[in-house]
Amino acid sequence: MFKNVIVRVPSKTISEGLTSANEGKPVYEKALVQHENYVSALTKTGVNVTVLEPKDEFPDSCFVEDVALCTSKCAIITRPGAESRRKEAELEDMIEALKSFYDNIEYIKAPGTIEAGDIMMVGDHFYIGHSDRTNEEGARQMIEILEKYGLTGQVVEMKEMLHLKTGLAYLENNNLLVAGEFKTAPEFEKFNKIEVDIKEAYGANCIWVNDYVLVPKGYPNVQKKIEDLGYKVLVVDTSEFRKIDGGLSCLSLRF
């Protein structure tokens, strides 16, 4: 179960966020409303939500998932692969917030790069995507830190997606949502795979929080498959974040 969540309010500069999507620029006011609704949905799952102030110098800073990995034993501050995001991991308010919850804080160091959107937790094991943002050295350091705390990690090679969790969501109870290149990846054979059609690929970025699953608005087939598994579903509109490649998981740290 998760007790805590950390989020950061979108900045006024969100329209300048990094993107590969061709869907126009996010509208700040809409993003703010969608973010408030996201926080409300999280609150329904019973977690305590810490809301950090916006940081206008970092257009992508609402995607807090990328700057830290929160485990049961320690929090690990990452070193983002995207240059424009690197200093997001040094923001004092985030580090202070994490220190208020964790005695053990670890750091990924240069030349390692890693964004925690590339890391999927399954119990005490962590799958780490080797992506354009996460390099071999970043993954190596991460696994070394995890092992120091009795946790384990393994690298997953990937080619198509921005982050590992762009195309994967672990819903607990061995249930794994899979899209695109991960449908056939041998690493995930042992899971009960729930395949997401290419037309709804963005819908693969759901989050399990205390037996609820937050599902993005507009992906009815994904939503139905998750409801059929017996989960309570909370639908959240993330259309403004989608325009800059962000989704439900990217917007919070859950621990």
Question: Is the separation of the CB atoms in 146 and 152 below 8 Å?
Answer: yes
- The residue from 10, 112, 117, 167 that contacts ligand CIR (CB under 6 A) is 117
The Cα–Cα gap between 86 and 82 comes to 6
- The residue from 9, 18, 185, 201 that contacts ligand CIR (CB under 6 A) is 18
**Is 85 known to sit in a ligand binding site?**
yes
Mark residues 161-190: x for contact with ligand CIR by CB under 6 A, - for none: -xx--x------------------------
The distance of closest approach from Cβ of residue 134 to ligand CIR in the complex, given in angstroms and rounded to an integer, is 11
Question: Is the separation of the CB atoms in 126 and 152 below 8 Å?
Answer: yes
What letter represents residue 85's amino acid? R
Question: Is the separation of the CB atoms in 169 and 197 below 8 Å?
Answer: no
* 240 binding ligand CIR? (CB under 6 A): no
Segment holding 126, helix H or strand E: strand 125-130
Tell me which stretch binds ligand CIR (CB under 6 A): 8-16, 97-105, 175-183, 240-248: 240-248
Give the residue with the Cβ less far from ligand CIR, 171 or 244. 244
Give the residue with the Cβ less far from ligand CIR, 66 or 240. 66
The distance of closest approach from Cβ of residue 43 to ligand CIR in the complex, given in angstroms and rounded to an integer, is 21
Residue 250 annotated as catalytic: yes
The Cα–Cα gap between 233 and 250 comes to 18
The Cα–Cα gap between 103 and 66 comes to 20
In 3D space, the residue among 81, 83, 179 whose CA is nearest the CA of residue 131 turns out to be 81
24: left (phi over 0), alpha (psi -120 to 50) or beta: left
In 3D space, the residue among 102, 91, 30 whose CA is nearest the CA of residue 64 turns out to be 91
Interface with ligand CIR in residues 56-95 (CB under 6 A): 60, 63, 65-66, 82, 85
Mark residues 188-227: x for contact with ligand CIR by CB under 6 A, - for none: ----------------------------------------
Catalytic residue IDs: 163, 250
Which parts of this chain interact with ligand CIR (CB under 6 A)?
Answer: 17-19, 60, 63, 65-66, 82, 85, 117, 162-163, 166, 244-246, 249-250
